[in-house]
Chain A
């Protein structure tokens, strides 16, 4: 029993709900990656150890497994905090917004930067709970400002939309260049 207490006092720490889930995931991923070392890297015969292409992945992953194991140990020995699965569910819900971001990126080359940004800004603002017209107008205005700042003024490398191909000659070129 005293051994357990010693171990606890060595490794217990402040943590938050869901920490142990993350610790397990981190350890499993680290071990998986380390097990792939032979498949995913090569050993060059005759080369020095430190110059091997396998050397740095091996060192980093071995250390990662080491640290991940102790992180998990610390998590397991610390006081359990309620709300673990509620926290994990919140992580999962964030995937929805990752999806919004990817969808936005996928649509821009077709819908054009200006139109897609305005539509996404309004739609996402509604999605997160704002209903007042003034807030939605502010979202649209912010979207226009972002487009003007980055595409029109700073000429950042963003694609012109396929939708602009339907416009008449002069306007098409203008929209492709500035919006």
Chain B
């Protein structure tokens, strides 16, 4: 499947494009995927998906460059990389930090894909055991985790997730053929399009954010030295890289947690087990490795719930889910039985993209340092122009553009207030799944307890209870300890 020239080209464009996009602070993979999403609808499923997968899997490689060189993460998940990468740059070890970041990213990426491939036979057995009620409960667990993952902002995350669930109910109900919340507007009958919302919340909001903020043009200095040096140094810290990648894989599979939690847990582990814990935050290679390896193990792991159950764990996989649907490829239990070629094609695409990116970065880091210098407002103009392609090409509808602009302003407000955007998207996607699956499960349910009378549904139900109980316990403990409130500024890094 990968031997086709169009698939190879898509992979190449996606991988290189992803690195470049990741290297420009203020763009990020979500913006790029949102813009390119409608453009891929006219392509073959494997071509469109490999291109988007290329961007998803490679952007974090690029994001490490500004994190190390100018202390500004290219993508939000490179925030921890700057903790140790930038101090290394300040003491004249920029090339060491960059090459170490690339090597750790490669390690994490390949480790994640290895786990994905090894888990495939297990997934092929387990996935068909998921019926309507199991998928409903898994989606419910996903929503709960997404809300609880935003510690310090749980009410806002809950409100926005519920807003997302509400948005997907707008329009004509496909089962009862009744209108819901259309307020008499015919354009709302077909519902609120997920892609329009995604483009508004991610791409247009970023354009508005950059256009309304003061202009800034970061000064990234070129680096000199052998980029392969990082590979040798990584071998001295294999344990940290492997454990961090393991965190990335495990947490990547759980909806709503992803890169941030994996990063923080692996960083904490690396610091606690290090012989030089005091160096962390001051230019520790172990800290840098822990952060980058964990990040890059997540994309492959995040594909596991998406492919096996059709449940996206975060915004980027939610966007990819819509590409699957457009091409009539329905991710879920049947995918491994009916479309195994596509699944293996995606696995190999993931491996190939890591190799392409690594080779590209070994020779082009200094070229990327020039791209980082694009002034922010100019970048805003470009994102606005590109967003038009994404929104308008869907249905050639001016109304879609207006709705996207509205969500763009909402996204800007959320970014300015440091409130999370992802719960809205996951609410829309998981809310739709929950509604459909609960309805299709109903005829087989005589009592509410029938919902959990099968092993997997019972396990999922227990997991939901456990997650809620653990959260309440943590809250009580924190309150008793009167811990000072923290600034949960994870999204800041996206803003520049």
Report which A residues bind B (CB closer than 8 A): 9-10, 12-16, 18-19, 22, 26, 30, 33, 36, 40-42, 44, 47-48, 50-51, 53-54, 56-57, 59-61, 63-64, 66-68, 70-71, 74, 87, 90-91, 93-95, 97-102, 104-106, 108-109, 117, 120-121, 124-125, 128-130, 135, 138-139, 142-143, 146, 150, 154-159
**Chain A residues, CB < 8 A from B183:** 36, 40
With A14-B485, A14-B486 as known contacts, state yes or no: A64 contacts B163, CB within 8 Å: yes
Which of B166, B401, B427 interacts with A61 by CB under 8 Å? B166
* Minimum CB distance partner of A157 in chain B: B393
Contact B377 A130 (CB under 8 A): yes
Contact A157 B396 (CB under 8 A): yes
Shortest beta-carbon distance, B451 to chain A, in Å?
10
Neighbouring B residues of A130 by C-beta, 8 Å: 375, 377-378
Interface stretch (choices B151-159, B221-229, B264-272, B279-287): B151-159
Q: Which of B205-213, B245-253, B294-302, B344-352 lies on the face that meets chain A?
A: B205-213
Specify which chain B residues have a CB less than 8 angstroms from the CB of A36 in the assembled complex: 181, 183
CB distance from B126 to the nearest CB of A (A): 26
Interfacial chain A residues near B38, Cβ < 8 Å: 156-157
**Which residues of B are found within 8 Å of A44, using beta-carbon distances?**
176, 178
B39 contacts partner chain A, Cβ-Cβ < 8 Å: yes
Which of these, A57, A71, A139, contacts B169 with CB under 8 Å?
A57
Q: Which of B22-30, B70-78, B111-119, B406-414 contacts A (4 or more CB under 8 A)?
A: B406-414
Inter-chain contacts of B479 with A (CB < 8 A): 9-10
Partner of B412, one of A14, A94, A109: A94
Q: Please name all residues of chain B whose beta carbon is closer than 8 Å to the beta carbon of A95 when the two chains form the complex.
A: 409
Is the pair A97, B208 in contact by a Cβ cutoff of 8 Å?
yes
Additional pairs, 16, CB under 8 Å, beyond known A53-B175, A101-B387: A13-B485, A14-B487, A18-B413, A36-B181, A40-B181, A101-B207, A101-B384, A101-B404, A102-B405, A105-B388, A121-B381, A128-B380, A130-B378, A155-B42, A156-B389, A157-B393
- Chain B residues near A22 (CB, 8 Å)? 413, 417, 419
Known A22-B417, A56-B431, A156-B38; contact A67-B159, beta-carbon cutoff 8 A: yes
Q: How far is the CA of A13 from the CA of B175 in the complex (A)?
A: 43
With A14-B486, A97-B208, A155-B42 already in contact, the answer to whether A40 and B384 are too (CB < 8 A) is: no
State in angstroms the CA–CA spacing of A22 and B409 once bound together. 12
With a cutoff of 8 Å between Cβ atoms, the chain A residues found around residue B438 in the complex are: 50
Q: Which B-chain residue is minimally distant from A44 (CB atoms)?
A: B176
Residues on B lying within 8 angstroms of A by beta carbon are 38-39, 42, 152-153, 155-156, 158-159, 162-163, 165-166, 169, 173, 175-176, 178-183, 204, 207-208, 211-212, 215, 375, 377-378, 380-382, 384-389, 391-394, 396, 398, 401-402, 404-406, 408-409, 412-413, 416-419, 427, 431, 434-435, 438-439, 442, 479, 482, 485-488
- Give chain B residues whose Cβ lies under 8 Å from the Cβ of A74: 155
Chain B residues, CB < 8 A from A98? 204, 208, 405-406, 408-409
* A159 close to B396 (CB less than 8 A): yes
Interface CB pairs A-B, < 8 A, 27: A10-B479, A16-B418, A40-B181, A59-B165, A60-B165, A61-B162, A64-B162, A64-B163, A67-B158, A67-B159, A68-B159, A87-B416, A90-B212, A91-B409, A93-B212, A94-B212, A94-B408, A101-B207, A101-B408, A102-B401, A102-B402, A104-B384, A104-B385, A130-B378, A142-B382, A156-B389, A159-B396
Contacts of A33 in B (CB 8 A): 166, 181
A106 CA to B382 CA, complexed, in Å: 18
User: Could you tell me if A53 and B402 are in contact, using CB atoms closer than 8 angstroms?
Assistant: no
Residues of A within 8 A of B163 (CB): 60, 64
The interface residues of chain B, by DSSP majority, are classed as helix
Which of A12, A97, A108, A135 makes the CB contact (< 8 A) with B392? A108
Contact A30 B159, CB 8 Å, known A42-B176, A94-B208: yes
A62–B93 Cα gap in the complex (Å)? 54
Return chain A residues, CB-CB under 8 Å to B381: 121, 124-125, 128, 139
* Closest Cβ–Cβ distance, residue B458 to chain A (whole Å): 19
For B418, give the chain A residue with the smallest CB separation. Answer: A16
Contact yes or no, A101 B204, CB < 8 A: yes
Chain A residues within an 8 Å CB radius of B380: 97, 128
Contacts A14-B488, A40-B183, A150-B389 given; indicate if A50 touches B439 (C-beta within 8 A). Answer: yes
Which residues of B have CB within 8 Å of A94?
Answer: 208, 211-212, 408-409, 412
Q: Which of A13, A47, A56, A157 contacts B153 (CB 8 A)?
A: A13
- Once the chains bind, are B413 and A91 in contact (CB under 8 Å)? yes
- With most chain B CB atoms within 10 A of its CB, the pick from A14, A121, A129 is A14
B contact residues around A93 at 8 Å (CB): 212
CA distance A1 to B435 in the complex (A): 45
Q: How far is it, in angstroms, between the C-alpha of A54 and the C-alpha of B179 when the chains are bound?
A: 10
